[in-house]
Amino acid sequence: MEFTLYYRGYLKANSRPKEKQELRRYFHAQLKRLWHQIPLKERHELLEKEPAKGAIGIIQTINGFNFAPLVTERLNLIAELKITLLRPEPPGSIITQAGDIDNRLKTLFDALKVPTEPTAIPEGDHPKEGEDPFYCLLEDDNLITNVQVETDRLLEETKSSSEVVLLIHITTKATRASWANMGLG
Q: How far apart are CA 32 and CA 51, in angstroms?
A: 20
Q: Does 181 reside within a domain?
A: no
Q: Please give the full DSSP string across 114-128, using - where no structure is assigned.
A: --SSGGGSPTT----
Q: Is 169 left (phi over 0), alpha (psi -120 to 50) or beta?
A: beta
Q: List pLDDT tens digits, range 31-58.
A: 999 999 999 999 989 999 888 888 899 9
Mean pLDDT for all residues in the chain: 92
Average pLDDT over residues 67-89: 96
Higher pLDDT pick, 122 / 15: 122
Q: Are 20 and 10 in contact (CB under 8 A)?
A: no
Angle CA 45–46–47, to nearest 5: 90
Q: Does 63 reside within a domain?
A: yes
List C-alpha distances in Å: 93 to 8, 99, 129. Answer: 20, 10, 40
Q: Does 51 reside within a domain?
A: yes
Q: Does 183 reside within a domain?
A: no
Q: Does 78 reside within a domain?
A: yes
pLDDT of residue 93: 60
Q: Are 134 and 28 in contact (CB under 8 A)?
A: yes
Exposure class string for 99-108: b at 16+ Cβ within 10 A, else e: bebebbbbbb
Q: Does 179 reside within a domain?
A: no
pLDDT of residue 35: 97
Q: Does 180 reside within a domain?
A: no
**Domain region containing 58:** 2-174
Taking 80 as the threshold, does the pLDDT of residue 30 lie above it? Answer: yes
What is the DSSP pairing of strand 144-153 with strand 65-71? unpaired
Q: Where are the beta strands (DSSP E) in the chain?
A: 2-10, 60-62, 65-71, 77-87, 134-138, 144-153, 163-174
Q: List pLDDT tens digits, range 120-137.
A: 999 999 999 999 999 999
Name the domain count of the chain: 1
